[in-house]
């Protein structure tokens, strides 16, 4: 049985380009060239191609296949074993890679968690927990026990992704705030956007939003040095600027 290049390609499920390439690198030459210059393949070439494709599927390079094909079954086994060693080595490296990627991911998550634990639980939860001591009566008095408890509960129930989204919002608030701060006007559009982002951020831990509560928190940012320090770390005066923006946003400016 003789095959043209396309017929053989179809038979083997490979492209004609591949066959021409195999011819070019001398790994599979046609049995003859007809008068029109067409490549004609015979049974031997079909068998050889079968072997080539078999080893190719094992991930052996064409260079190595060339050796394998023209080697005895004894040497073939040797080459295969070498190839196996290479694969095992590759897998070891891959495993290392995966491990490192996972470490990185979990450290990133850890950071988010840390950010959340420090800036959120150790800061925020402390803000609520701890502020219970300072502002506890005040907040609970102003917004009721339910609001505070629900907030605490909501925090505890947040998923990783929600943390992340919250973290993103938080960063967005800071960034927008920084840009807005440059204008110096808390009534300006960017500052109002920051206030709105801050509201969205608040809603991640609060079940119900009220202008009064929002404004109350804003005032806290100025009154409590820990919050002030957090926002002023970016730019001195930012805590106050945020408070002013939120006051305007909530219509609570006195």
Partner DNA sequence: GTTGACCTTAACGTTACGTAAAGGTTTATA
Partner DNA sequence: TATAAACCTTTACGTAACGTTAAGGTCAAC
Smallest gap from Cβ 233 to a second copy, in A, equals 17
Among the candidate windows 25-33, 86-94, 194-202, 205-213, which touches a second copy by CB under 8 A?
Answer: 86-94
Residue 71 binds to a second copy (criterion: CB under 8 A): no
Q: What span, in angstroms and rounded, lies between the C-alpha atoms of 215 and 157?
A: 25
CB 203 within 8 A of CB 166: no
Residue 97 binds to a second copy (criterion: CB under 8 A): yes
User: Which of the listed partners (a second copy, DNA, none) does 61 bind, with a CB threshold of 5 to 8 Å by partner kind?
Assistant: DNA
3-state secondary structure 168-228: HHHHHHHHHHHHHHHHCCCCCHHHHHHHHHHHHHHHCCCCCCCHHHHHHHHHHHHHCHHHH
Residue 117 binds to DNA (criterion: CB under 7 A): no
C-alpha neighbours within 13 Å on the C-beta side of residue 207: 13
Residue 7 binds to DNA (criterion: CB under 7 A): yes
Smallest gap from Cβ 92 to DNA, in A, equals 21
Contacts with a second copy: how many residues (CB under 8 A)? Answer: 34
User: Which of the listed partners (a second copy, DNA, none) does 74 bind, with a CB threshold of 5 to 8 Å by partner kind?
Assistant: a second copy
Residue 79 vs 222, nearer CB to DNA? 79
Smallest gap from Cβ 142 to a second copy, in A, equals 33
Query: Which one of 56, 76, 126, 226 is in contact with DNA (CB under 7 A)?
Result: 56
Query: Which one of 63, 85, 89, 102 is in contact with DNA (CB under 7 A)?
Result: 63
Among the candidate windows 57-65, 67-75, 79-87, 155-163, which touches DNA by CB under 7 A?
Answer: 57-65
Site for DNA in 19-48 (CB under 7 A): 20-21, 34-39
123 phi and psi, to 5 degrees? Answer: -120, -50
Residue 85 vs 212, nearer CB to a second copy? 85
40 phi and psi, to 5 degrees? Answer: -120, 125
Residue 17 vs 90, nearer CB to a second copy? 90
Query: Which residues contact a second copy (rule: CB under 8 A)?
Result: 57-59, 72-74, 76-77, 80-81, 83-84, 87-88, 90-91, 94-95, 97-98, 100-102, 104-105, 108-109, 111-112, 164-165, 167-168, 171
Query: Which residues contact DNA (rule: CB under 7 A)?
Result: 4-7, 15-18, 20-21, 34-39, 56, 61-63
């Amino acid at each position: 049985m003789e095959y043209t290049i396309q017929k053989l390609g179809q038979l083997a499920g490979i492209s004609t380009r591949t066959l021409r390439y195999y011819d070019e690198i001398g790994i599979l030459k046609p049995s003859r060239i007809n008068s029109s210059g067409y490549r004609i393949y015979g049974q031997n070439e079909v068998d050889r191609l079968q072997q080539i494709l078999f080893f190719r599927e094992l991930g052996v390079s064409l260079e190595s296949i060339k050796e394998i094909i023209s080697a005895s079954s004894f040497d073939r086994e040797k080459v295969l074993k070498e190839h196996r060693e290479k694969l095992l080595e590759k897998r070891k490296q891959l495993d290392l890679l995966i491990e490192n990627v996972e470490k990185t991911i979990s450290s990133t998550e850890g950071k988010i968690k840390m950010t959340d634990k420090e800036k959120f639980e150790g800061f925020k939860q402390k803000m609520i927990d701890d502020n219970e001591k300072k502002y506890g009566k005040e907040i609970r008095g102003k917004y009721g026990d339910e609001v505070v408890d629900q907030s605490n509960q909501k925090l505890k129930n947040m998923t990783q992704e929600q943390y992340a989204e919250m973290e993103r919002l938080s960063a967005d608030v800071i960034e927008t705030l920084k840009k807005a701060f440059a204008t110096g006007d808390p009534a300006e559009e960017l500052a109002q956007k920051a206030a709105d982002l801050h509201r969205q951020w608040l809603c991640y831990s609060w079940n119900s939003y009220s202008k009064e509560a929002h404004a109350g928190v804003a005032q806290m940012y100025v009154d409590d040095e820990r919050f002030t320090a957090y926002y002023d770390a970016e730019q001195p005066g930012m805590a106050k600027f945020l408070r002013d923006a939120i006051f305007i946003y909530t219509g609570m400016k006195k």
